Amino acid sequence: MIKNLMTTFDELKSSCNLKGRTNLFFIYFSCWTLLILLTLMTTDKYTSFTVINHFRSYPGDLLFTFFTILGNGTVLIPLAALLLFRKNYPALIGLLLSILLNTLIVGVLKHFFNHPRPLACYGEDIVQTASWIKLYTRYSFPSGHTASAFCMAAYLSLSYSNDRRVSGIAFVCAVLTGYSRVYLGEHFLEDIWLGSIVGVFTAAATYVFVQYYVSRIINAFSKRPKQ
């Protein structure tokens, strides 16, 4: 069992480091978390929110509404269909499990912290959004949309570590989803920061689980002699 577990961690290491080149997603993610942490340490909460939220345009409203939709789980349908079509069953199962676990963790954290959202803190005179967006007042920390986006992005990056385009595209989509939550007035900068960390952590943990258990179960059934 220990030998198999070590093999699984070697597979995870290989996914994060292909032929001596670190998976780009995790390089980008490290820069992202450090940049936001530095901003949070040097800028007050109100300023970090309004700088993003007040920099608006109608095309921006349309663009970031699209990306915020990516974080609500809708994108799982085409992703699942694609993985099913390519018969990548371990990735399909792992992606669904990671989103489920991510949703549970975010739900627990939201109710534990119970932080107010920007609308509850600053009111309608300060918080701006698109005319078709409904703003909420509770459970701001962390951002569930951001956590889901980074969870999906990290899992796909691990599953397709040999394709650097996947890492780059997935990371950009996840970042734009997180940015959209502040832009649309739903969250603070610290909400999307923690959300991204939760999402990536959940994806990595689920990936290890799937590589160790699910993949071996699928391989065992696939190798059974046909009667």
| Alpha-carbon span 144 to 210, nearest angstrom | 23
**pLDDT above 70 covers what percent of the chain?**
84
| Alpha-carbon span 209 to 203, nearest angstrom | 10
Number of other residues whose CB lies within 10 A of the CB of residue 208:
17
Residue 10 placed within a domain? no
Task: Say which CATH number the domain at 66 has.
Answer: 1.20.144
Residue 69 placed within a domain? yes
Contact 119, 128 (CB under 8 A): no
pLDDT at 222: 56
Number of independent structural domains in the chain: 1
pTM of the model: 0.86
Residue 94 placed within a domain? yes
Distances (CA, A) of 13 to 5, 151, 200: 12, 18, 15
Average pLDDT over residues 204-226: 69
Of 211, 59, 216, whose CA–CA distance to 130 is shortest?
Answer: 59
Question: Would you give the DSSP letter of residue 21?
Answer: E
Phi, psi for 74 (deg, rounded to 5): -60, -40
For residue 1, the Cα-to-chain-centroid distance in whole angstroms is 31
Residue 12 placed within a domain? no
Residue 62 placed within a domain? yes
Structure confidence at residue 78 as a pLDDT band (50, 70, 90): confident
pLDDT tens, residue by residue, 120-166: 999 999 999 999 999 999 999 999 999 999 999 999 999 888 888 88
pLDDT at 23: 79
pLDDT tens, residue by residue, 83-123: 888 888 888 888 999 999 999 999 999 999 999 999 999 99
Note down the domain range covering 191.
26-221
Residue 46 placed within a domain? yes
Place of tokens 């095309």: 59
Residue 14 placed within a domain? no
